[in-house]
Amino acid sequence: MTSWADGPLVGFDTETTGVDVGGDRIVTAAVVRRAGGRTLARTWLIDPGVEIPDGAAAIHGITTEHARAHGRPPAAALEEIADALSGALLRGEPVVAYNASFDLTLLDAELRRHGLRTLPERLARDVRVVVDPLVLDRWLDTYRPGKRRLGDLCAHYGVATGALHSADDDVVATLDVLAAICARHPGLRRAVPERLHDAQARAHRRWAEGFNAWRAGQGLTGPGAELEWPVRTDVLSTDAPSTVAAPVGAAPATPAQVPTTQVPTTALPVPA
């Protein structure tokens, strides 16, 4: 029986000026289509029009000077990225992104900033189907201790990595991690893509609520995890880039002691 997991799948990743989805900018992006055993990558280098903080450049290797000398104007590149993703979704090809709510929300803000149509506007509906290996891993292996960065999941699932923190290598690693998760949890392969999308949204919300409850119990202040997935609708694009030099695209890791609700594999949505 054929499965959505056999492709075509379209991976997406960005490297950015920081971690503020409303204020930071895309520096590089990759859209990678995997189908029939073939992997085709398309990449973009963008001049974001703002300084790239040293902390961000240290992660992805793109300095302000390099982006200004070799990068494309943002509007033209963003239009192509949005067309590639919306085209895939309209063809019924799932978009695969690690920590999707970061990359897709930041893309949404960038499109608004440059007066371009967002993905929902291009699709005339919400953004779906999206598959997020981070959400799946938290859902299916809730109580595993340790961090859940892309490199951590590659190690856990035995996926070989290239130079992580280049957008195209990150996408290939993400697709490989998804394949490994599906091999370990065969129920995923039988899932109806639309139902799997909705199940991930619910699983992410449960994780975020548990994470935020843990933060409150620890007396921690400041913003916690956002409840929406895969695109936040509460973010307005700004012209003020972040100066935060945190790992670009990083998601907060759930501490091992955080009480979250585990959803058994048998609860995965499968065709009727």
The CATH number that applies at residue 92 is 3.30.420.10
Domain count, the chain: 1
Any domain includes 20: yes
- Output the pLDDT for position 240: 44
Among 7, 52, 2, CA closest to 175: 7
User: Quick one: CA dihedral 243, 248, 254, 255, positive or negative?
Assistant: negative
- Output the pLDDT for position 161: 78
Any domain includes 241: no
**What pLDDT tens digit does each residue of the chain (272 aa) get?**
789 999 999 999 999 999 999 999 999 999 999 998 899 999 999 999 999 999 999 999 999 999 999 999 999 999 999 999 999 999 999 999 999 999 999 999 999 999 999 999 999 999 999 999 999 999 999 999 999 999 999 999 999 876 666 668 899 999 999 999 999 999 999 999 999 999 999 999 999 999 999 999 999 998 899 999 999 998 876 774 444 333 333 443 433 334 333 334 334 444 33
- Output the pLDDT for position 113: 97
**What residues make up the domain containing 131?**
4-221+250-264
Question: Cα separation of 60 and 14, whole Å?
Answer: 10
Any domain includes 46: yes
Any domain includes 245: no
Packing angle, helices 74-90 and 100-113, rounded to 10 = 130
Residues 6 or more apart whose Cβ sits within 8 Å of residue 37: none
- Output the pLDDT for position 165: 62
- Output the pLDDT for position 238: 72
Any domain includes 243: no
- Output the pLDDT for position 256: 35
Any domain includes 33: yes
3-state helix, strand, coil in the chain (%, to 5): 45, 10, 45
- Output the pLDDT for position 232: 95
- Output the pLDDT for position 222: 87
Residues belonging to the chain: 272
Peptide bond between residue 172 and the one before it cis (omega within 30 degrees of 0): no
Question: Cα separation of 125 and 44, whole Å?
Answer: 26
